[in-house]
Structure 1
Amino acid sequence: MAHVDLTIVWAGIIGFAVFAYVVMDGFDLGIGILFPIFSVGEERDQAMNSVAPVWDGNETWLVLGGGGLFAAFPLAYAIILPATYPLMIAMLLGLVFRGVAFEFRWRDPRHRPFWDIAFSLGSVTAAFAQGVTLGAILQGIEVRGDAYAGGWLDWLSPFSLVTGVAVVFGYALLGATWLIWKTELRCQQRARHLALPVGVATLIALAAISAATPFLQYDYWHRWFALPGVLLTAQVPLLVVICAGTFLWSLRRGAERLPFFMALALFLLGFVGLGISMFPYVVPRAVTIWDAAAPAQSQSFMLVGSAIIIPVILAYTGWAYWVFRGKAGTEGYH
């Protein structure tokens, strides 16, 4: 494999895993974010059951992305983790609360209102922490001598808070559009009414982040606006406008699947924009993917395992979604 740049391959694997997690666990978290708005009883039960068969499997991609970063880019892991410790702790606690609440909501009906609150708070906390982490990385991390040199709260800034709110709205959009597709009757109607305001809020937040990002660092500005590259990068906001228009049109037409796929397209375009801004840096202006990469022998060894594990995960995930492709009911899944 001497002729293959394994660092690029591993960057692609981790990028794919992160995007898969954002998409698949995003609508799970989005349902939790919107959960208090749904009526107690049939609406909440149907919303829960729409993700019950797949929610825990969706988090596999988070493990793959985090584990891959640790194994393939240990220097990046050693810098990013200390810079975002409070956020990582908050995210993990949120995911734990969300998972426990998901299970005990059915097993402990007496305390179901408590578990509903825990499910929603855990989802909001995890989503917000992920968004703030993204903002913290984009705005830059202070590095000195291949180590994090900043403070405990260097991640905290207006920009990172806006990205946190944007991810919460974005996940809520995924959750609402997923419920339009997978539920019916009152739950579907509620989701359809929610999709428009959270969609507009997501687009406003995305526009704000897109406008602010080029001013964070000169490299970002140059990548987006310097000729001739701007002829290509300008296609990203153009596609966002097209997807946004299609999303609004699909809601007006009463479509069930198209709103969800347009929401996915918006996330994909956001991911592309992130790549345009950052690549090849994993820590902007400080560490490139080649600086952070593990030895080639380690990358080759891990690639063999990934070549086996990733197709298995994809096959199982596809099978699970196919088996449970119909509309969700109100019966408990246990």
Structure 2
Amino acid sequence: MKKSRFIYSWLLFVCFLNVKYAEPAEAQVSAEDEFEDYLSSIEADFYNFEDSINRNFADYLEQAWQEFTVYEGTEPPVYAGGLFFTGTIETTLVHPHDSFFGSFLHFPYMVEEGLSLSGLSEKNIADGWRKLGTVDFTSFFRAYTGYSRQFSLNDWGNYQLLKYASMQLYPSFSPRERTLFLFYALSNAGYKAKIGRVEKDVLVLLLPFAEEVYKLPFIKAGEEKYYVMDISSKQLKKLYSIMADFPKAEKVLSLHISEALDFPENEIGRKFTGKYPFSLSLNRNLLDFYATFPLCDLSVYFRAEPSKTFTNSMDKIVKIHLKGKSRP
């Protein structure tokens, strides 16, 4: 992704020079003959730069991690009638081995040999990162980007997509190996993320959110909160992690849905009683996706772009109740 922008910018620069400083035809022919070699050298420089970032970050991971206090998750606000949420929080993917919210996806096969965490020492984690850094993920991220666009995924959807991919590509991974893969994939996809070691045998993923998130335990890295993902409800008091993020990771994951998610239709009906009873059609795949959300502020839901199924169903209901009514 970034590679393409890098190469395209060089192409534009070279074209600009060729137009502004046109040379005799003989010189142009010579330049064209060398053009492919020139592009190859640019691409080689790019990969060397990418490799150096991963190597340097692996060296950083090998340094001693620091202890962080784990804070209890923030309680949600109280509204008239009590809390707007009661129950348990669910952040795992619904039926991850079957489909991705109604679609069976296929990612390029990735060799899983080599990534084996025999322990969770700083050196174990750094070596694991180095092993992932030797894998060519170009085709993987191309497929990831394509699916993200196909379903109009938001940041949380991208995270769920990478979780699904890890289960499909690496079914034999242990939970901690999958956590390291997610850390690597999210970081190289541009999202801020950390990993933390709980006691001696548990590796957890830590994510910051652009919106307020409730009931999830978190650590503080500077002014930023990093929430502990996919862990049991046991009370955490401390964990060990790193302070810095991967250099290319600049995006903070957002739960906001600015574009209607485009999952396959799996229509289910819901009946509502009251003064104006009505039946509503909903997409079960979309409901399953919302079920993975961490508990967050109501504005995330209120501002979300509705699906076509919901919009069409509501249009019919409103028209029925407005039929025969006079204009104000």
TM-score scaled by length of structure 1: 0.25
- When Rg is computed on C-alpha atoms for both structures, the one with the higher figure is 2
The higher relative CO (CA closer than 8 Å, separation ≥ 6) is in: 1
